[in-house]
Amino acid sequence: MNLIGNIIWIIFGGIFIFFEYIIGGLILCLTIVGIPFGIQCFKFAFVGLAPFGVKITDTSSNTGCLSTVMNIIWLIFGGLWIALTHLFFGILLCITIVGIPFGRQHFKLMNLAFSPFGKSIS
């Protein structure tokens, strides 16, 4: 079932989400300061390409408060807008019964957009 959902997702916009995050990640990686944020965009890209069957979990990292600081910077400089975009599309897709599974995937991406640092994808 995940394969069918991912194929439909890619056909109806997942490929565009993938390329947007890849381009954003490449632009962020042009500067040394932006490399950690670019890596998070690559994380978004691969989840955005095939979100069905992907689980996002919190990781216990030894970075201390660094991931919290990076999440705050991320949220201020773009993460909030990404999260609001996924919230909008999630609500829009959940209006119809057929769109509910796709809306839930946007809500999953919204959760990742709030705090991508300290999360792993499996």
Report the sign of the C-alpha dihedral through residues 44, 13, 55, 71, in that order.
Answer: positive
Q: What does pLDDT average to over the chain?
A: 90
The model's pTM is: 0.86
Determine the structural domain holding residue 108 and report its residue range: 2-121
Distance CA 2, CA 8 (A): 10
Least confident span in 6-20, 48-62, 83-97? 48-62
Total domains present in the chain:
1
pLDDT per position as a tens digit, 51-63: 999 998 888 766 6
Q: Give the pLDDT of residue 122.
A: 84
